[in-house]
Structure 1
Amino acid sequence: MSASVSMPLGGVQVGSYDSYEQAQAAVDYLSDEKFAVENVTIIGSDLRMIEKVTGRMTMGRAIAAGAAGGAWWGLFVGLLLGIFSDTGGAWAGAVLLGLAIGLAFGAAFGGMGYAATRGKRDFISTSKIVAGRYDVMCNPPQAEDARALLARFSLRG
């Protein structure tokens, strides 16, 4: 029976940073120094989701958002159908009809979607996943070179 030592995903750690931007800058520095960055991996750990509440959702907002999205789709469909028009008037008619139908259906579906929630989620938010730490990992044969370069990078300040 043979013994094996498991290596962490991405290789061995050559640097650790508090933000993704710092880790990205470190890898960019490695690239600028002609290091073979295809041997490098950035791994985020201690993940958490942050949801920022940006406002209150109302029936009016739901209808307006649905109408806006529907208008874009209607405009797109109207432009596609307008391609097959013989005259400028028919083209404009197709675009305007597509826009109007898309706006109406979007508003209706936006309102119905909001009504279906029955007040369970009356707010608007954005969410993102962030890591507590970002480790720059490297394949073992190149790890010492990467560490030396990143030591110079950290001295740059």
Structure 2
Amino acid sequence: MEQKVTGSNVLASYPDYGDAQRLVDRMSDDGFPVESVRIVGEGVRTVEQVTGRMTRGRAAAAGAVSGAWFGVLIGLLFGLFTAGAGWLWLLLISLVIGAFWGAVFGFVAHWSTRGRRDFSSVMTLQAQRYEVHVDQAQAARAARYVL
């Protein structure tokens, strides 16, 4: 379903976000009031890039890393109330405990899927095209940038 942004004209349409961004950047460099410009992604879809095989060991390692960060955060918070050099030991102990429980939870979470998702991935949103819209009041002035 095609939907027009109210009160604006399509100045240009590009298959790549970078091209739309370059047009708006050129307009900005030239002093055009870019507050009246929008980049609208049309035909948005999700793209999942598979980054590798997920094993129980990798799941445990990823859990350990995230658990260690959480442990450091907790250690720093408790360290605010610790006098002397004891805060360093508290930080180290929190890191180790966080890494251990993170590894346990990462392993168990992956094991519980029973092989239904044995890969890691990164999900992104992409548009099929990017339209540069400009307010109707600025449309005539903006048209010179795409000629």
How high is the TM-score relative to the length of structure 2?
A: 0.91
TM-superposed CA distance for 1:106, in Å, is 0.5
The residue identity in structure 1 corresponding to 2:38 is T
Q: RMSD of aligned C-alpha atoms?
A: 1.4
Which residue number in structure 2 is paired with residue 110 of structure 1? 106
Pairing partner for 2:51 from 38, 49, 54: 54
Q: 143, 146, 150: which one pairs with 2:142? A: 146
Work out whether residues 75 and 99 of structure 1, in 8 Å CA contact, stay in contact via their aligned partners in 2. Answer: yes
Where does the alignment leave 5 or more consecutive residues of structure 2 unmatched?
Answer: none
2:16: which partner in 1?
19
TM-score (norm 1): 0.86
- Corresponding residue pairs, total: 144
Mark the runs of 5 or more structure 1 residues left unpaired by the alignment: 1-6, 152-157
In structure 1, the partner of 2:117 is 121
1:98 matched residue in structure 2: 94
Partner of residue 69, structure 1:
66
Paired residue secondary structure (1:52)? strand
Larger mean CA deviation between 79-88 and 132-141 belongs to: 79-88
Deviations 1:57-110 (A, max 9, x none): 11000100001100011011112212222221x112111111111011111111
